[in-house]
């Protein structure tokens, strides 16, 4: 399967799972073991607000290439159907775009690039 064969929503669905696994693995490797702590800490990486801010930072620093920006736009512009009540539409769309970009990178077997993005995001969170 190739990223170009998938809808933006499908890419975002996959990207959400990939990103969540990376976050959960990282938190456990950092020594967090209580479910309550893991859930609370993971929100700082997987919430729509967090993902939208990660995209903004990556975009502003010029880290993303044209292909990644295109995948982001594909996810951002996908028909979301419903948006969570506590999340502004713009933030939700931006986070969906971020997830779509991660999903596309995964399908294109660009794990090294996902790792580079993850390292940059971790650096942003630690600052």
Residues marked active site are found at 16
Q: What span, in angstroms and rounded, lies between the C-alpha atoms of 81 and 102?
A: 21
The encoded tokens of residue 2 equal 């190739």
Spatial distance between the Cα atoms of 83 and 94, rounded to a whole number of angstroms = 12
Tokens of 37: 């702590």
d(CA 48, CA 85): 12
């Amino acid at each position: 399967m190739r990223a170009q064969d998938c809808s933006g929503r499908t890419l975002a669905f996959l990207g959400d799972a990939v990103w969540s696994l990376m976050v959960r693995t990282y938190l456990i490797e950092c020594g967090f073991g209580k479910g309550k702590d893991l859930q609370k800490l993971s929100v700082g990486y997987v919430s729509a607000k967090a993902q939208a801010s990660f995209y903004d930072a990556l975009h502003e620093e010029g880290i993303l290439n044209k292909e990644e920006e295109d995948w982001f736009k594909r996810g951002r512009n996908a028909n979301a159907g419903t948006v969570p009540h506590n999340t502004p539409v713009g933030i939700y769309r931006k986070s969906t775009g971020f997830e779509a970009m991660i999903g596309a990178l995964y399908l294109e077997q660009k794990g090294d690039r996902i790792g580079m993005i993850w390292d940059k995001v971790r650096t942003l969170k630690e600052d």
